[in-house]
Amino acid sequence: MAHQDQLKQWVGEAAAQEISDGMHVGIGTGSTAEAFIHALASHIQKGLDIKAVATSQRSHDLCCQLGFDMGTLADIGPLDVTIDGADEIDPSFHLIKGGGGAHLREKIVASASHRLVIIADNSKLVPQLGQFPLPVEMIAFEAAYTARMIQSMLCELLDVDVQAKQRFVGDAPFVTDSGNWIWDFHCQRITDPETLALALDTVPGVVEHGLFVGMADLLLVAGPEGVERMEKGGDDEAL
């Protein structure tokens, strides 16, 4: 059985094949996205000419180190495609993202793209979202109260006991690239991602949540037999 690092390498290389000369590309965040960055770098070294926007400082720095021509959405948007990972993917291509804390910038860049390609190993495919904690980025001011409001709302909407936990690094609150805090909500099951996303959007203090509803166009999913290409509303194809 292929090791998880091998799966990430396979799907990163498959994603790099989606990029053509002259494209404007959104670059995701996380270990799978970094596998794509390294794979794409080898194409750039062979002459591929693209411009890119990264969804985190970490990804931006790695791209710069590897010789990418980096820009901003104001300069080069809208983008042709964004390649990014996910923490959970349901059969309708709805996603939970934000395990790395970059979902605000990831959503901004994905929204500015004609096409969102999600790369993952097959462990990220789930029948229903919710086992992975749902990240919510919020401003620091009265964040504990905001989190309590969200927790109460989620318990009522989902009819489960939702646990909330602020994300820390050591003894200090985790701070996003945009200077905000993150709370993770253990929802257990999310039966209606669309309704939940709309409800979270109404909470004062919430900057962005990790539900990506109806945004993904293509999945590239790595498993022991290789990479499967899954188009929204289309047929699956082994690569």
Give the number of domains in the chain. 2
Share of the chain above pLDDT 90, in %: 96
> Which CATH number is 198's domain given?
3.30.70.260
pLDDT of residue 144: 98
**pTM for this one?**
0.96
Report yes or no on 142 lying in a domain: yes
Q: Can you give the residue range of the structural domain that contains 30?
A: 4-122+214-225
First CA to last CA distance, the chain: 18
Same domain for 29 and 108?
A: yes
> Which CATH number is 20's domain given?
3.40.50.1360
Give tens-digit pLDDT for 97-145.
Answer: 999 999 999 999 999 999 999 999 999 999 999 999 999 999 999 999 9
Of residues 129 and 235, more confidently modeled: 129
Asked whether the predicted pLDDT for residue 149 surpasses 80, the reply is: yes
Same domain for 48 and 69?
A: yes
Catalytic: 106? yes
β-strands 236-238, 226-231 pairing: antiparallel
Query: Phi/psi at 195 (nearest 5 deg)?
Result: -65, -40
Catalytic member of 18, 34, 88, 106: 106
DSSP letter at 231 equals E
46: helix, coil or strand? coil
Same domain for 105 and 174?
A: no
Under the banding of pLDDT at 50, 70 and 90, the label for residue 1 is low
